Amino acid sequence: MKIMGQILTNIKLIIKKLLKIIKPKVIIPENKFSVKNYGIIERLEKALPSNLYKDKVEFINNIINVFGIQVEYPIELNHKVEGFKIIRKNLKYNGIVYDESQFKSYDGVNIPIYTMYPPQFKNNQKYPTIIIFSGHGSASQVAFDELSYQHACGTAMAKRGFLVYIMENRGMGKLSYLGNHLRIDAIARLTGGSWYGEILTDALWLLEILHLQPNVDVSRIGSAGVSTGGAVSMISASLDARISTVYVQGFLGSYRTTFGSRGIHCLCGHIPGILKIGDMSDIASLIAPRPALFVNGTTDSFYSSDAQSAFYKILSVYKNLNVESNVKFLAPKGVGHEFSVEKAASWFNEHFNLENL
């Protein structure tokens, strides 16, 4: 029996070796981009220059169309939106009371929300409010996970006196059942949309609902986030002036370089046709004259050098409006791809005047 077993083992080994000889070797390319794609690089370099549009409304409509955002400009959704549906109320984490709720977005999908209340919250009082958009990961990282790159910034900002709302992104966290976000993106592109278009639509729906909430000070609504969260914070504020103060971390750069010739970062950020209408700095400039802080740490994979170049273009727009003190760029030494709670809190405290509650 032992001899038969050894013979069978030898036969299996011989078959494996034969299969390796017969079967051609398949080379699977790495997820990299080479600058030897000369035609693409040339088109990136010849992409349209900044400041393309004298007509702000035309540019905003082009942004809406390229991303596939399911709204019309000017953004007036109040006849369509419903309020929040509370799922669980008066929960506690690290000294902060929070609710879990959801709202129906444009297509009927229920978008999960965390609402985090400042200490000694009073139902008859209005509060400066911050929407913190999640990066790749889950909204629970923003709310609770101090060890994640989002550093439980929701809890931290609530502790500092802000009313905080945190939105889940489609394809992530509690919305993972919708599918992988890259698959959502790929299929949305078939009809001229994108994954970013979907979550930006959700963000604008959320902003509309906040204007119906009795405890939200609608004159002091801010947006914040890191990575994808920074992108949604920036682009939402560019489209809707009801966001009065903006914090963007780990995203500012250039579609030409950051997502283009460098060939890095998630494919969801490669918006089809974006450079036919403008670059990231053009979009961010729409926030002017409102206060905006852009942060890219020196060790962030979203290079601070790319961000600095984009910022100079944004700054020129603020200078033309004589409000250059309203926009800043920071490249904190040793800070990587993460949310800097203290810098965000300081920025919003400066512009929202928390003592005036």
In this predicted structure, what is the pLDDT of residue 11?
66
pLDDT tens per residue across span 26-39: 444 456 777 778 78
Q: How far apart are CA 61 and CA 324, in angstroms?
A: 26
pLDDT at residue 44, as a whole number: 74
Q: Is the pLDDT of residue 158 over 70?
A: yes
Rg from Cα positions in the chain: 24
Q: Residues 46-66: what's their mean pLDDT?
A: 79
Q: Which domains are delineated in the chain?
A: 38-352 (3.40.50.1820)
Q: At what angle do helices 228-239 and 56-67 cross, to 10 degrees?
A: 140
| 324-343 per-position pLDDT tens digit | 999 999 999 999 999 999 99
Q: What is the pTM of this model?
A: 0.88
Q: Describe the strand order of the beta sheet including 96-104 as a list of residue ranges.
A: 85-93, 96-104, 110-116, 163-167, 127-133, 216-225, 245-249, 292-295, 327-330
Residue 3 scores a pLDDT above 80: no
In whole angstroms, what separates CA 193 from the centre of its chain?
Answer: 16
Does residue 59 register a pLDDT over 70?
yes
Mean pLDDT of 80-100: 94
pLDDT of residue 24: 46
- Would you state the pLDDT for residue 39? 82
Give the SS3 label for residue 86. Answer: strand
